[in-house]
Amino acid sequence: MARLRNEDGSKKGKVCSWCGKAEDLVKKLIAGPDDVYICDECIEVCRNNLLADDNQITESFTNSVPTPHELKEFLDQYIIGQDDAKKILSVAVYNHYKRIMNPKKQIDDVEIEKSNVLMIGPTGTGKTLLAKTLAKKLKVPFAMVDATTLTEAGYVGEDVENILLKLISNAGGNSGLAERGIVYIDEIDKIAKKGENVSLTRDVSGEGVQQGLLKIVEGTVAAVPPHGGRKHPNSELIRINTENILFICGGAFVGLDKQIARRVVEHPLGFGAEGKSTHEYKLSELYQHLHPDDLVHFGLIPEFIGRLPIVVCLDELDRDALRKIITEPKNAIVRQYQASLAFDNVKLDFTDDAIDAIADTAIKQKTGARGLRAIVERLMTDVMFDIPSLGGNNKVLITRDVVERRRNAEVEKMAA
């Protein structure tokens, strides 16, 4: 209700139904039906959301989908390496949105089916960032969910339809806009069947979730509870057609490479002919020999694999790639800290040895690019604690000794 009540039941003054501010704390309060009010500040927030470029498909996108080359060039600005993965994704996304933009144009009555994507690669190799950056380029709503929170309908956990609620929310409540969005389901390998043998107990967070995802991934009109949680017979539901939503599923699939390697060693034709052993191949080279049966043995059901026809494999990041990630992208971690300290009139520099040491630490911890921020944050904590109290016009140099904790970073006063 828009009106609050005192302890004796009498009504308090008018308040905004959205933010709860009283009438005397805002410039204007606009009345609606049933004692509902909205203030000028909330109206401005709604207006900005409607006008935000990132939350709507622009007119140019409606008429022209970015080409695979344009998509890859945009990905190159934010993601280092993984060229093969970026090419495959760019083509897949281009074909998906080309299909959406030409719904009535069919050649010889051929109906083009949706092709969702499965991304396989170690943690910290850029799976989530790839999906998020593509959505940013296309200016479509994006939602990321963790498959481990999902359970089969009727059990404790989230229903698979709640994935779509997050997409609708990120589309500003616009279901039509959400129907052209991208959903990234992370940790998809964690919902693998617990075993290939039939179990007496239900696998509600494994095979049960895969079964629940089948329809919405393929394309259906789903009924979504507007406030999340479980569906109730008498509750209003949001209807959303998932036919044009692009689903990208990602996971580390730990051990899958060894499974492929064992199969390839037994049948080395076309793989071991060069005399290389399996451990000498990069992951992406090994995954070129991925067969659907490998995923079935891992624990994905055949029906679910069939709805993810495009498989993208990412390599582990080597030292050179991690060095570039630390310094080169538009949102590189070093650039972020340099920009942050610049507000305090402080110049921050990293030596080449320091960058090497940060990359080596990430490799040792096996965290990939994901762990870089934590590493830099730890070594910068003391500096960022002292800087605001020292005044401006200072310089900080981060060396290998600082990264390896052999000495603390020193703040030097620069000449005026």
Encode pLDDT of 143-160 as tens digits: 999 988 886 554 444 678
Encode pLDDT of 261-310 as tens digits: 887 766 555 544 454 555 556 676 788 888 889 999 898 999 999 999 99
Encode pLDDT of 356-389 as tens digits: 999 999 888 888 888 888 999 888 888 888 888 8
- Cα separation, 164 vs 167, in Å, equals 5
Query: What number is the average pLDDT over the span 116-136?
Result: 91
pLDDT at 2 over 70: no
Quick one: how far is CA 306 from the chain centroid? 23
Query: What number is the average pLDDT over the span 205-217?
Result: 83
Question: What's the confidence (pLDDT) of residue 350?
Answer: 92
Residue partners of 252: CB distance under 8 A and separation at least 6? 120, 121, 122, 123, 189
Cα dihedral across residues 272, 276, 277, 280: positive or negative: negative
Query: What number is the average pLDDT over the span 302-319?
Result: 90
- Cα separation, 372 vs 124, in Å, equals 9
Is-contact 289 313, C-beta < 8 A? no
Question: What's the confidence (pLDDT) of residue 6?
Answer: 42
Residue intervals of the chain classified under CATH 3.40.50.300 are 55-313
pLDDT at 327 over 60: yes
Prediction pTM value: 0.73
Encode pLDDT of 4-61 as tens digits: 444 444 445 788 888 888 888 888 888 888 788 888 888 887 766 665 444 444 434 5
CATH class (in words) of the domain with range 55-313 = alpha beta
3-state secondary structure labels for all residues of the chain: CCEEECCCCCEEEEECCCCCCEHHHCCCEEECCCCCEEEHHHHHHHHHHHHCHHHCCCHHHHHCCCCHHHHHHHHHHHCCCCHHHHHHHHHHHHHHHHHHHCCCCCHHHCCCCCCCEEEECCCCCCHHHHHHHHHHHHCCCEEEEEHHHECCCCCCCECCCHHHHHHHHHCCCCHHHHCCCEEEEECHHHHCCCCCCCCCCCCCCCHHHHHHHHHHHHCCEEEECCCCCCCCCCCCCEEEECCCCEEEEEECCCCHHHHHHHHHHHCCCCCHHHCCCHHHCCHHHHHCCCCHHHHHHHCCCHHHHHCCCEEEECCCCCHHHHHHHHHCCCCCHHHHHHHHHHCCCEEEEECHHHHHHHHHHHHHHCCHHHHHHHHHHHHHHHHHHHHHHHCCCEEEEECHHHHCCCCCCCEEECCC
Question: What's the confidence (pLDDT) of residue 283?
Answer: 72
- Residues above pLDDT 70, as percent of the chain: 79
Least-confidence region, from 32-41, 300-309, 319-328, 336-345: 32-41
- Residues above pLDDT 90, as percent of the chain: 25
CATH topology of domain 319-413: Helicase, Ruva Protein; domain 3 (1.10.8)
Is-contact 266 203, C-beta < 8 A? no
Query: What number is the average pLDDT over the span 173-177?
Result: 87
Q: Which residue has the higher pLDDT, 206 or 58?
A: 206
- DSSP strand pairing (117-120 vs 37-39): unpaired
Q: What is the mean pLDDT of the chain?
A: 81
Residue intervals of the chain classified under CATH 1.10.8.60 are 319-413
Encode pLDDT of 80-120 as tens digits: 888 899 999 999 999 999 888 876 666 666 777 888 999 99
Question: What's the confidence (pLDDT) of residue 42?
Answer: 85
- Give the CB-side neighbour count of residue 41, counting CA atoms within 13 A: 13
- Cα separation, 13 vs 7, in Å, equals 14
Q: Which residue has the higher pLDDT, 402 or 56?
A: 402
Question: What's the confidence (pLDDT) of residue 46?
Answer: 78
